Amino acid sequence: MEIHIQQGKLEENIKERVFDIAILGVFENETSDFTSKSLQAVDSALDGAINGLLTRKEFVGKLNTIEIVRPDWKNSHSRLLIVGLGKKDEFSLERLRQVSGKTAVRTRELNCQEIVTTLHEIRLDNSAKDTAQAVIEGSILGMYKFVELKTDSRSEFIDIKKILLLEREMTVLDEIQEGANIGKTIAEATNFARNLANMPGNIATPTYLATKSEDLAISLGLKYNILDEEIAQEMGLNAYLSVAQGSDQPAKFIILEYTPQEKEALETIVVIGKAITFDSGGLSLKQKTGMENMKYDKSGGCTVIGLIHAVSHLQLPIHLFALIPATENLPGGKAIKPGDVIKSFSGKTIEVVNTDAEGRLVMADALTYAKKYSPTLVIDIATLTGAIRITLGAHASGLMANKEAENFKKLLTSAGEKTGERVWELPLWKEYSTHLRSDFADLKNVGGREGAAIIAAVFLSEFVEKGTPWIHLDIAGTARSDKKKAYIPKGASGVGVRLLVQFIRDLIGN
């Protein structure tokens, strides 16, 4: 999709019919004293037609509601689409992303290929750069479709080819261009992660993820390394490899490294993404209902790949390592058994009580591996526990962190509010560690149902280098959506890409 920025007045462009459809935002119960200058001018040109709709309560501006207005100018077939922004005192960049996603989908349904929008001029307390980013992000994310495996991928609707951000003020054009470029980069990286996560297990094997990561690294000039099972075994990544024992698909430990080309790196961050390409539960077999969704157990790894995709394109001054331990979890003849004891990469022994608690095993070895980079911060992101979905639902990801990460977690929480990918902190009190005591090993991999999401994080904390700031994100409730939302499709959400990019940008003051 082409993104264009242009100085001009919407009412003049409508008369000249230089686009298929124009998008204007209206606050709930807004009257003739419109916030948007473009809306005010267009309404005046239409002899108060928009205000008439509002006065008659035919359209009241409720969030994400849409109304089509057809101008009666001579020789003009252009259409206006007004979208409800909700209440003005509740307006946010997240709401701007939502209405942008909604309107982009609606314009596509109307078979419009070129649209002009002035949604970015609804700035209030936000900058032109931020609103432009939100509009483009929401539009591209909202129009996402997974059609990779359809034999006839043609849609009954024509995809939008061009979005024009029309701006009245010449002085902010550069800001708008910068914001639009950032929004496009981040949205495309998120959709890249969505595509990977939506791929079924028979295609998206560990080898598939490794190949995709290698292709990405080569195209972006990243350093990369793929550890196969033989190398991993020689190194002692036994907890990770134990999960792979039941599968015929070889495990792949993927390492990607980004360093800025022209700027000095300000921080060194290791981000680890869980990538169980299909999780049957192993010998602790899951119920058959919903097991098809276990292809999404690789979502954390897909997010990390999308993250390094975005950071590289944005050329952020940071040193970033992405670790993606990829494997299947299947109940084969060689599969790990409940009661088995394994020696992890750290040297600690683990009693495997439940083979369906496999994610923490692969992440344990990856967390130990992260020590070699002496990072400023370690973040892991994983669809780790069903318990987090019960705790927080689908509206927030769980955040747990050690005391060394205090300042980082505040920044990450703030990034969650900015991006709409909210996180909520749960405690890591010492008392929870008692649930992991084992009679036969240093610790066991599960500790019962009560506080299960926290106990899983406590398990991971055992493998973090002492003194290293560490944050754990449990995205089991947010990695996929059961229904289409404003700019989130049914299926993989790509959660975490936008969150972590915003966190890094805030961290380095970008």
Q: Which residues does the annotation mark as catalytic?
A: 286, 360
Strand segments (E) across 246-393: 252-258, 268-273, 275-279, 319-329, 341-343, 349-351, 377-382
Residue type, 321: F
What Cα–Cα distance (Å) separates residue 121 from each residue in 128, 133, 210? 7, 12, 42
- Whether the CB-CB separation of 107 and 118 falls below 8 Å is answered with no
Main-chain phi, psi angles of 330, to 5 degrees? -125, 155
CA 134, distance to chain mean position in Å, is 14
Closest to 134 (Cα-Cα) out of 169, 101, 87: 101
> Where is 311: in which H helix or E strand?
helix 299-314
Report the alpha-carbon distance of residue 475 to residue 381 in Å, rounded. 7
> Where is 66: in which H helix or E strand?
strand 66-69
| Tokens read off for 360 | 């923490």
Closest to 51 (Cα-Cα) out of 74, 73, 24: 24
Report the alpha-carbon distance of residue 398 to residue 425 in Å, rounded. 6
C-alpha radius of gyration, the chain, whole number:
25
For tokens 């749960």, name the residue.
Answer: 426
Report the alpha-carbon distance of residue 11 to residue 24 in Å, rounded. 11
Closest to 423 (Cα-Cα) out of 502, 488, 484: 502
- Whether the CB-CB separation of 334 and 281 falls below 8 Å is answered with no
Residue type, 255: I
For tokens 């993250």, name the residue.
Answer: 307
* Alpha carbon distance, N-terminus to C-terminus of the chain: 26
Main-chain phi, psi angles of 268, to 5 degrees? -120, 115
